[in-house]
Amino acid sequence: MLAVFGHTNPDTDAISSALVYAHLLTRLGVPAQAYRLGDLNFETAFVLRELRMEAPPMLPALAAGTPVALVDHNESGQSAPNIAELTVTRVVDHHKLGDLTTSQPPFLRFEPVGCTGTILLKLHREAGLDVEALDAKLMLSAILSDTLHFRSPTTTQDDRDAVAFLAPVAGVTDVEAYALAMFAAKSDLGDTPAAQLLKMDYKVFPFGEPAQQWGVGVIETTNPAYVFGRKEELLRAMDEARAEDGLNGVLLSVVDILNETNRTFVLSATEEKVLREAFGVEATDGVADLGNRISRKKQIVPTLERYFAPEA
């Protein structure tokens, strides 16, 4: 049974794609089981509740050599703890290629589109399989989530085409209303502890050589005022993460989904200097205005990579 899973701190794409790809592989004669590498966020919980679907179980400890399929990620730092010992046979992803290697020729399907779900829809169509309604709604939800319903600059025509194809199959007649309901669920953060808020959509990236380790969190919300009301707590959580995880820097971007803006919490002079030199922005009172740079993948991480890259 092939284990299929998305990245740690799973988002809707990581969970949906694991479920959809495991189902697709099983239909294609490769028995597979979806897992997750962490707690559901509020948006994903909303999506599964809508579908009356159970969350995939947490990934158990896997013995060395166990074959696994990765979706929506490929870097070891975002994967199963012992990923280097596991046998990666398949990856479906839309991120840059990191430190993945394999000992045998794998199935790899990477496309520079807005969401893994968009690629999974192509895999169904290429295999000549009809798309079942549950799978359609999972892929639809993932695409709306990853692209912020086409607001993100990561959005491609393929993502728009996929949503147009999937919405009727999923029985979603008002896509805009469904996306807003997802985003409202995601923004309804209640009394979630600050440390958990920070890590909800959070990735650690190696930058430069020798590599610095930077934690970059994002909170996408329709209610930024709520997040700003918890700024001091969140800065404390960032400080703790930096110390506990031995990081060189931590950033937390508060993305206002509906207004498409990014205001980023800045912990200390280290991060202030990097934001000034890499993005040309000044932090005031622990907050830097990153304007419309709402995509970590496309607008934040590449700039930091170039900034930290050794001189050619």
Binding stretches for a second copy (CB under 8 A)? 64, 85, 93-113, 122, 126, 297, 302, 305, 312
* 126 vs 285 by CB, closer to a second copy: 126
Shortest distance (Å) from residue 295 CB to a second copy: 11
The site partner of 13 among a second copy, Mn ion, none (C-beta below 5 to 8 Å per kind) is Mn ion
At residue 117's C-alpha, the angle toward residues 24 and 47, to 5°, is 95
Shortest distance (Å) from residue 15 CB to Mn ion: 10
* 160 vs 230 by CB, closer to Mn ion: 160
Neighbouring C-beta atoms of residue 211, cutoff 10 Å: 11
* Residues 155-194: x where in contact with Mn ion by CB under 5 A, - otherwise, as a string: ----------------------------------------
Three-state secondary structure readout of 85-144:
HCEEEEEEECCCCCCCCCCCCCEEEECCCCCHHHHHHHHHHHCCCCCCHHHHHHHHHHHH
Residue 101 neighbours by CB under 8 Å, 6+ apart: none
Using the contact rule CB under 5 A, the part of the chain among 44-52, 146-154, 213-221, 232-240 near Mn ion is 146-154
Beta partners for residue 192, in sequence order: none
Shortest distance (Å) from residue 146 CB to Mn ion: 5
Shortest distance (Å) from residue 158 CB to a second copy: 12
Shortest distance (Å) from residue 125 CB to a second copy: 8
The site partner of 73 among Mn ion, a second copy, none (C-beta below 5 to 8 Å per kind) is none
Using the contact rule CB under 5 A, the part of the chain among 36-44, 65-73, 100-108, 229-237 near Mn ion is 65-73
Residues 204-208: contacts with CB within 8 Å, 24+ apart? 204/77, 204/78, 204/245, 204/247, 205/77, 205/301, 205/304, 205/305, 206/77, 207/304, 207/305, 207/307, 207/308, 208/308, 208/309, 208/310
* 100 vs 274 by CB, closer to Mn ion: 100
* 78 vs 262 by CB, closer to Mn ion: 78
Shortest distance (Å) from residue 110 CB to Mn ion: 12
The site partner of 107 among a second copy, Mn ion, none (C-beta below 5 to 8 Å per kind) is a second copy
Task: Give Dmax (Cα) for the chain.
Answer: 57
Question: Per CB under 5 A, does 72 bind Mn ion?
Answer: yes
Of the candidates 9, 13, 70, 203, which one interacts with Mn ion according to CB under 5 A?
Answer: 13
Residue 156 neighbours by CB under 8 Å, 6+ apart: 112, 113, 114, 118
Q: Are 133 and 141 in contact, with CB atoms under 8 Å apart?
A: no
Shortest distance (Å) from residue 154 CB to Mn ion: 9
Kind of pairing between the strands at 212-221 and 249-256: parallel
Residue 291 DSSP class:
T
Interacting residues with Mn ion between 79 and 118 (CB under 5 A) = 116
Q: How far apart are the first and last CA of the chain?
A: 46
Shortest distance (Å) from residue 113 CB to a second copy: 8
Positive/negative CA dihedral, 132, 135, 141, 144? negative
The site partner of 229 among Mn ion, a second copy, none (C-beta below 5 to 8 Å per kind) is none
Residue numbers of the site for Mn ion (CB under 5 A)?
A: 13, 72, 116, 146
